[in-house]
Amino acid sequence: MSGNPSDTGADGGTGIDADTPGSEADSSGSVDAGTATSTGTGPDPHAGTGSDAGDAGGPTDADPLLAVSDLEAGYETGQVLFGVDLAVGDGELVSLLGRNGAGKTTTLRAIMGAEEPRVLDGSVTFAGESLLGRPPHEIARRGIGFVPEERRCFPRLSVVENVRLAINHARDPADLETVLSLFPELDDMRGKAARNMSGGEQQMLTMARALAANPRLLLLDEPFEGLAPYIVRRIEDIIAEINDDRGITVLFVEQNVAAAMAIADRHYVIDEGRIVAEVTTRRLREDEALRQRYLGV
Ligand code: ATP
């Protein structure tokens, strides 16, 4: 992808409630709903086959903010997603876990309307409206912020300039001070060029740029990747704060299972393009076989 996706995607706020949603997450009690509705290979036996979505208390029994159903998508080289189902309720903090190449980034890119992958079948709805076929900037405008794995920001521009640019592109932006108040580290280096910042600081700056558009839902692609443990903990805290205090719904994809368990309410596990489990944090922590089999930890 050329250019700057965070920037083009910064102008959110049209079409849906621009104000922050309520932060009550009714997810904490959700149990592993065994929603492995994947076609092809069956769901994992550890994947909580016993419960149904109605008892799960998760977003599937109400209107979820984000609903991905039976999503099939792929590249010229072949299909990668095979009937992916996931739902994120308003106010939830949810992870999508999987190994290298499992299909995590592809899922996020399909949600964001990226040119690639090509969506072959299924549906993606946000706040009750279909997103499929819409370009990324329109999806962003509807209230979805995206923080890509590559942590894109303008390398020569300062912290403030980077965030201001995102604010300038947003339909209903947050104000600079509100955004920076979440990131004291950035606040202390307002004039510093992004290229001179550490990986963790750049991660924060990319998140700040996404938040500048006042999103209702934030999608994060491997936010902990390549970061030292103490920065991982810092990013964990920031994501939790974004969700708890700002009331922003969060879906992040990760390989770092420990970090995901530290902050998320609920987790989907993806393997070879299929959702093989939907579990609570407690279940994921207890189910070593599930973790070993699909996540290698
Ligand atoms: P990682 O943790 O390594 O980022 P992931 O779970 O995000 O992995 P994806 O990036 O979604 O996995 O990749 C899923 C599959 O799709 C892989 O087999 C990958 O090689 C393939 N793939 C990803 N991007 C492309 C592309 N642009 N063209 C062709 N195949 C691709």
In this structure, is residue 297 part of a structural domain? no
Q: How far is CA 141 from CA 18, 145, 243, in A?
A: 10, 9, 20
- Is it the case that residue 284 has pLDDT exceeding 70? yes
Q: Which residues does ligand 1 sit against, CB inside 6 Å?
A: 75, 77, 80, 98, 100-106, 116, 255
Is residue 59 very low, low, confident or very high in pLDDT (cuts 50, 70, 90)? low
DSSP letter at 192 equals -
Q: Which atom of ligand 1 is nearest to the CA of 108?
A: 11
Q: Are strands 118-126 and 129-130 parallel, antiparallel or unpaired?
A: antiparallel
Residue 241 lies in a domain: yes
Question: Ligand 1, closest atom to CA 102?
Answer: 6
Q: Is residue 245 part of a domain?
A: yes
CA atoms within 13 A on the CB side of 266: 32
Instruction: Specify the higher pLDDT residue, 16 or 76.
Output: 76
Amino acid at residue number 8: T
User: Any idea which of 18-32, 37-51, 280-294 has the lowest mean pLDDT?
Assistant: 18-32
C-beta separation of 135 from 290 below 8 A: no
- Ligand 1 atom 31 nearest Cα: 75
Confidence of residue 51 (pLDDT cuts 50, 70, 90): very low
> What CATH code is carried by the domain that includes residue 156?
3.40.50.300
Q: Return mean pLDDT, the chain.
A: 83
Residue 175 scores a pLDDT above 70: yes
Q: Is residue 24 part of a domain?
A: no
* Assigned domain for 22 exists: no
The pLDDT assigned to 36 comes to 32
Sheet containing 266-271, strands listed edge to edge, beginning at the edge strand earlier in sequence: 144-147, 217-221, 249-254, 93-97, 266-271, 274-280
275 pLDDT higher than 70: yes
Select from 68, 105, 275, 297 the residue to mutate for testing ligand 1; criterion: most ligand atoms less than 8 Å from CB.
105
Tokens of 234: 């810092």
Distance from the CA of 102 to the center of ligand 1, in angstroms? 7
The pLDDT of residue 33 is 33
What would the two tokens of residue 62 be?
A: 């109400």
Number of domains in the chain: 1
DSSP state at residue 90: T
**Predicted pLDDT at 157:** 98
User: Which residue owns the Cα nearest ligand 1 atom 24?
Assistant: 106
Which residues constitute the domain of residue 75? 5-17+29-292
CB-CB contact of 118 with 75 (8 Å): yes
| The predicted structure's pLDDT at residue 208 | 97
Q: Are 59 and 27 in contact (CB under 8 A)?
A: yes
More confident residue, 200 or 54: 200
pLDDT in tens, 98-155: 999 999 999 999 999 999 999 999 999 999 999 999 999 999 999 999 999 988 899 9
Cβ(227)–Cβ(24) below 8 Å: no
Question: pLDDT, tens digit, for every residue of 210-268?
Answer: 999 999 999 999 999 999 999 999 999 999 999 999 999 999 999 999 999 999 999 99
| Ligand 1 centroid distance, CA of 42 (Å) | 22
Residue 260 in any domain: the answer is: yes
Q: With a cut of 70, say whether residue 53 has pLDDT above it.
A: no
Which mutation among 75, 76, 150 tests ligand 1's pocket best, with the greatest number of atoms within 8 A of CB? 75
Q: Say if 55 falls within a structural domain.
A: yes
**23 in a structural domain:** no
Cβ-contact 59, 42 below 8 angstroms: no
